Structure 1
Amino acid sequence: MENIKNIEQYSEIKNGEKAAVMLFSADWCPDCRLIDTFIQEIIENNSEEFDFYKVDSDKRKDICAEAGVMGIPSFVAYKSGRTIAEFIGNDSKTREQIEEFLHNAKAKL
C-alpha cells in the first residue's frame, strides 16, 4: 500500500477514474497496527475494484482536514472526485467491518 506524500498526490488519486481507498492511520495507533495484520489480504481480494493508499495522520494533517477525518483508523473511498463511502472514527475496526465497508463502496461504483 503506497503512502500519500502530499496534497497534490491526494487530489490526483481522489479525482482518478479508478476507485481508491485511503486508510488514515499513524504509527503509534494500536488499532491501526491490528489492521496491518490482515489488510494485505483485504487489498488482494479487492484490487480489481480499488487501489489502496495510506495517509499518515501525523504527517499529513492537511489531507486529514481536506477529507474530514478526525479519528483513526479511518477509511474513505473515492472515485472521479467524489466520496463514495466513509468509515471514519477513532473506534477499533474489525476485518468484517472493513469488508462490509468495501462491499458497500463497491455497490456505489
Structure 2
Amino acid sequence: MITLTTENFDERVLRAGKPVLVDFWTEWCPPCKMIAPVLEEIEAERGDRLTIAKLNGDEHPEIVRRYGVLGFPTLTLFRDGEIVERIVGARPKRRLLADLDAHL
C-alpha cells in the first residue's frame, strides 16, 4: 500500500498506469481503522489491476480540499487522472468490490 503525501500525490495517483484507490483517512476515525484490513485484502486480491494508496487527511489538508473530501473515510478511485468513483464511509468488502470492479 502506498502512502501518499502532497509531494507525491500527482505522480503516484494522477499519472499512474493503472487505477488508484485513494483512502482519505485520519488517525482519530474509527471507521477508517475498520476499513483498513478490508483494503489490504482487496489489494492482495486485485493488486494486479488496482493500486491502493492512503492519504492522511490531517497531514495533507490541501489535497483533502482539492478533492472536496468532507468526511472520513472517503475512498476515491482515480483512473487516467480522473475520479471515476467516490465512496464515503466504511462498507463491507463485497459491496466495495461491487463498486470498484465496474471500473477495473
Give the TM-score taking structure 1 as reference length: 0.83
CA RMSD after TM alignment: 1.5
Q: How far apart are the structure 2 equivalents of 1:34 and 1:99?
A: 16
Which amino acid in structure 2 is aligned with residue 81 of structure 1? Answer: G
Matches of residues 1-109 of structure 1 in structure 2 within 5 Å? 1-6=1-6, 8-12=7-11, 13-87=13-87, 89=88, 91-106=89-104
1:68 alignment partner, SS class: coil
Superposed structure 1 runs of 4+ greater than 3 Å apart: none
Q: Are the aligned partners of 1:73 and 1:93 in contact in 2 as well (CA < 8 Å)?
A: no
Task: Give the letter aligned to residue 82 of structure 1.
Answer: E
CA drift at 1:73: 0.7
SS in 2 for 1:69: coil
CA offset digits 1:27-49 (Å, max 9, x no partner): 11100111123221111111111
- CA distance in 2 between partners of 1:3 and 1:35 (Å): 16
Equivalent-residue separation in structure 2 for 1:79 and 1:92 (angstroms): 21
Tell me the TM-score normalized by structure 2. Answer: 0.87
Which runs of 5 or more residues in structure 1 are unaligned? none
